[in-house]
Amino acid sequence: MRGYQEVAFRSAYLITGDASEAEEATQEAFVKAYRALGRFRSGARFRPWLLAIVANEARNQRRAATRRAGLFLRVAREDTPENSPSSPEAAVLAAERREELLEALRGLREEARWAIACRYFLGLSEEETAAILGCARGTVKSRLSRAMKGLRAEIAKEGDAG
Amino acid sequence: MQDRELERELRELGSLIDYPPTPNVARAARNVLDEAANEQSRRLRRAFPTMRWAAVAAAFVLVVAVPTLSPGLRATVSDWFVAEDFQSTGVDAGSPERQSEAGAPAAGVSKSATTPAQAPQFSGERISVREAQARMEGTLILPRTPELEKPEEIYTVGTASKEGVMLVYKYGLPPLGDSGIHLVLTEVPGDLEPAYLTGRTTAGSKFDRVSVDGNPGYWRSAGNRLPGQTLLWEQGGVALRLEANVKKEQAIRIAESAR
């Protein structure tokens, strides 16, 4: 399962907002997954199955945590060649825009934020996103649509305030 | 703003997120499971001590199967603890020249000079205590009883896959027949049970289970190439074989003093 560590850990991190809680949740999920491997339906996709266990553990951690989940996501590097803006002014504008988006995400409800993060940050499939959100695959689209609507509203609010 | 543009921006933002480094949770999970399995096994052993013998029986099957599969593997498991003659365990029938080469102490030479035919010769390389210590990576184990001082001679024993040492004592205990030897202690890094089991199969003689400092040991009162008794036990990752002309209790006492 080593090949799934990163996506599992990052999924847990997006839910818990804390590295050590994410680690604990992922480890516990892996233990449970190892023990439940015998019950895994052959023919089913393994990654969504594993991510559902991870998300469940992460939500348990999240509920147990007393602190409020603040904005924990940070932008790492902005000067990678593929993302490098053409001028210093463009770089400043791009950084401001990213901050604006993060701020707008901050204003969303957790479930909406998770939906957007699953799809666009982690690049998960609908099935995997459903596993993380704990919902039916058919409802992922509508949840994501509502989350995007909320995000646009947040961005507009920031625009009005600015 | 168009949805597609917003999606593109989100994907780009996602690619720049600074995630904490991913820990090796798969390994940590395996460790948790291994520990749980070990604990369960310990509980079972406590509840059903005979389970240990079931494990020994299972190992027995493996060890017996190995020689039929691979002569190379046979060499590794039928090492010095098990074979019934010194020819295959690192000791040759004696010859005066070889005895002289080995540089045995005066008492040993004197003894062997009077009974050259019975004096066993060790085919391993004669080494010093310091070399033996290095060979055993610092875990050379020596008996600490008053009757035994230090080994008069130390020889290497080994195969391509395993190596150990053989300590020869020439004072302190009843001699092993006319050999001039009072005690031979063989030490090999590794587990005892495969060696014990192979010995059992090749020797066809019975070992009794004994306790050496709370750990399992095996005692055989029948002598083989030397007219003594044999005690096998394991200590700190080293399998040991003691051969001496002593009673079981004394052998265990010597074994328990070793460190």
Beta-ladder partners of A148: none
Q: In this predicted structure, what is the pLDDT of residue B126? A: 87
- Higher confidence at residue A62 or residue B142? B142
Q: Is B2 in CB contact (< 8 Å) with chain A?
A: no
Which of B:150-209 have CB within 8 Å of A? none
Domain ranges of chain A: 2-64, 97-161
Q: Is B62 in CB contact (< 8 Å) with chain A?
A: no
Q: How far is CA B166 from CA A32, B32, B151, B203, B242, in A?
A: 49, 40, 9, 20, 10
Q: In this predicted structure, what is the pLDDT of residue B130? A: 84
Calculate mean pLDDT across residues A39-60.
Answer: 84
Calculate mean pLDDT across residues B156-163.
Answer: 67
Q: Taking a C-beta distance cutoff of 8 angstroms, is the pair B252, B143 a contact?
A: no
Q: Which residues in chain A have Cβ-Cβ distances shorter than 8 Å to B28? A: 27, 30
Calculate mean pLDDT across residues B171-191.
Answer: 84
Q: What backbone phi and psi angles, to 5 degrees, belong to B243?
A: -125, 120
Q: Give the C-alpha separation, B251 to B212, whole Å.
A: 10
Q: Which residues in chain B have Cβ-Cβ distances shorter than 8 Å to A74? A: 17-18
Cβ distance of B26 and A2 shorter than 8 Å: yes
Q: Which residues in chain B have Cβ-Cβ distances shorter than 8 Å to A102? A: 13
Query: Which residue do the tokens 């190596």 mark?
Result: B163
pLDDT at B102 over 50: no
- Higher confidence at residue B30 or residue A86? B30
Cβ distance of A13 and B17 shorter than 8 Å: no
Calculate mean pLDDT across residues B167-191.
Answer: 85
Q: How far is CA A3 from CA A47, A50, A93, B171, in A?
A: 10, 12, 37, 62
Which of B:14-53 have CB within 8 Å of A? 14-20, 22-30, 32-33
Return the H-helix or E-strand segment holding A31: helix A19-36
What pTM did the predictor assign?
A: 0.47
Shortest CA gap B56–chain A (Å) = 27
Q: Which of A19, A83, A123 sits opposite B12 (nearest CB)?
A: A83
Q: Give the C-alpha separation, A48 to A40, whole Å.
A: 11
Q: In this predicted structure, what is the pLDDT of residue A125? A: 93
pLDDT category at A91 given cuts 50, 70, 90 is confident
Kindly provide the ipTM of the predicted complex, given to two decimals.
0.85
Calculate mean pLDDT across residues B98-118.
Answer: 35
The domain over range A2-64 is classified in CATH as 3.30.70:
no
Least confident of B8-22, B108-122, B127-141, B179-193: B108-122
Q: In this predicted structure, what is the pLDDT of residue A41? A: 66
Cβ distance of A34 and B33 shorter than 8 Å: yes
Domain ranges of chain B: 70-257
CATH architecture of A97-161: Orthogonal Bundle (1.10)
pLDDT digit string, tens, across residues B47-75: 655 555 555 555 544 444 333 333 332 22
Q: In this predicted structure, what is the pLDDT of residue A38? A: 66
Least confident of A74-88, A129-143, B129-143: A74-88
Calculate mean pLDDT across residues B110-120.
Answer: 42
Cβ distance of B24 and A2 shorter than 8 Å: yes
Return the H-helix or E-strand segment holding B240: strand B238-244
Cβ distance of B6 and A75 shorter than 8 Å: no
Q: In this predicted structure, what is the pLDDT of residue A85? A: 60
